[in-house]
Amino acid sequence: MKATVRLNTVQGVNLTPQLLQSIRLLQLTAPQLEQELRQTLERNPLLEHDEAAEDAESAADADAATIEAAAWDELPEPSFLSGGGSIGDDDATLRIADPASSDPRVRLLQQLALHWDAPGLELASWWLDHCDDHGYLEQPLAELLALGAQAFPQRIDDLALVRQRLLHGEWPGMAATDAGECLRAQLAAQPDSAARALAARILAQHLELLAAHDDAALASALAAEPEQVRAAVALILTLRPHPAEAPAQIEDTHVVPDVVAWHAGGSWRVALNRHTTPRVRIAPHCERALASNGSDHAVLRGLLDEARWLVRGLAMRSDTLLRTAQVLVERQRGFLERGDEAIVPLTLREVAEAIGMHESTVSRIVSGKYIQTPRGTLELKRLFAVRLEGAEIGGAAVRAMVKRLIDAEPVAAPLADDVIAGLLARQGVRIARRTVAKYRDQLSIGPARSRQRVAHAIAC
* CA distances (Å), origin 313, targets 43, 158, 358, 360: 17, 69, 17, 17
Predicted confidence at residue 81, as pLDDT, reads 35
Spell out the residues 6+ positions from residue 197 whose beta carbon is closer than 8 angstroms to its own.
none
Which residues lie across from 217 on neighbouring strands? none
Buried b (16+ CB within 10 A) or exposed e, 4-25: eeeeeeeeeeeeeeeeeebbeb
| pLDDT tens sequence across 284-305 | 777 676 666 655 567 777 788 8
| pLDDT tens sequence across 325-345 | 999 999 998 888 888 777 888
Mean local confidence (pLDDT), 173-195: 88
Say how many C-beta atoms besides its own lie within 10 A of residue 148's C-beta.
21
Predicted confidence at residue 215, as pLDDT, reads 84
Q: Within the chain, what is the greatest distance between any pair of CA atoms?
A: 112
* CA distances (Å), origin 270, targets 187, 330, 334: 61, 10, 15
Predicted confidence at residue 70, as pLDDT, reads 40
**pLDDT of 104 over the 90 cut:** no
Predicted confidence at residue 320, as pLDDT, reads 93
Measure CA of the first residue to CA of the last residue in the chain; give whole Å.
93
Mean local confidence (pLDDT), 193-213: 84
| pLDDT tens sequence across 358-372 | 988 899 999 889 999
Mean local confidence (pLDDT), 18-47: 82
Lowest mean pLDDT among 20-29, 197-206, 266-275, 444-453: 444-453
Mean confidence (pLDDT) of the chain: 78
Question: Computed over its alpha carbons, how large is the radius of gyration of the chain?
Answer: 34
* 3-state SS, one letter per residue, for the chain: CCCCCCCCCCCCCCCCHHHHHHHHHHHCCHHHHHHHHHHHHHHCCCEEECHHHHHHHHHHHHHHHHHHHHHHCCCCCHHHHCCCCCCCCCCHHHHCCCCCCCCHHHHHHHHHCCCCCHHHHHHHHHHHHCECCCCEECCCHHHHHHHHHHHCCCCHHHHHHHHHHHHCCCCCCCCECCHHHHHHHHHHCCCCCHHHHHHHHHHHHCHHHHHCCCHHHHHHHHCCCHHHHHHHHHHHHCCCCCCCCCCCCCCCCCCCCCEEEEEECCEEEEEECCCCCCCEEECHHHHHHHHCCCCCCHHHHHHHHHHHHHHHHHHHHHHHHHHHHHHHHHHCHHHHHHCHHHCCCECHHHHHHHHCCCHHHHHHHHCCCEEEECCEEEEHHHHCECECCCCCCEHHHHHHHHHHHHHCCCCCCCCCHHHHHHHHHHCCCCCCHHHHHHHHHHCCCCCHHHHHHHHHHHHC
- Put residue 368 in one of left, alpha, beta given phi > 0 → left and psi -120 to 50 → alpha: left
| pLDDT tens sequence across 236-255 | 888 888 887 655 554 556 78
Lowest mean pLDDT among 89-93, 101-105, 120-124: 89-93
Q: How many degrees, rounded to 5, is the angle at CA 325 between CA 324 and CA 329? A: 120
**How long a stretch of residues is the chain?**
460
**pLDDT of 405 over the 70 cut:** yes
Phi, psi of 352, deg, nearest 5: -60, -40
* CA distances (Å), origin 420, targets 59, 176, 366, 439, 440: 55, 70, 34, 11, 11
Predicted confidence at residue 294, as pLDDT, reads 56
pTM listed for this prediction: 0.52
**pLDDT of 185 over the 70 cut:** yes
Say how many C-beta atoms besides its own lie within 10 A of residue 165's C-beta.
18
**pLDDT of 11 over the 80 cut:** no
**pLDDT of 143 over the 60 cut:** yes
**pLDDT of 224 over the 60 cut:** yes
Domains and CATH numbers, the chain: 132-237 (no CATH), 395-459 (1.10.10.60)
Q: How far apart are CA 411 and CA 453, in angstroms?
A: 10
* CA distances (Å), origin 138, targets 66, 107, 131, 144, 167: 52, 19, 5, 9, 15
Kind of pairing between the strands at 47-49 and 280-282: antiparallel
**pLDDT of 193 over the 70 cut:** yes
| pLDDT band at residue 101 using 50, 70 and 90 as cut-offs | low
Q: How far apart are CA 363 and CA 357, in angstroms?
A: 11
The burial of 317, by beta-carbon neighbours within 10 Å (0-12 exposed, 13-18 middle, 19 or more buried), is given as: buried
Closest of 433, 318, 414, 332 to residue 375, by C-alpha: 332
Predicted confidence at residue 396, as pLDDT, reads 74
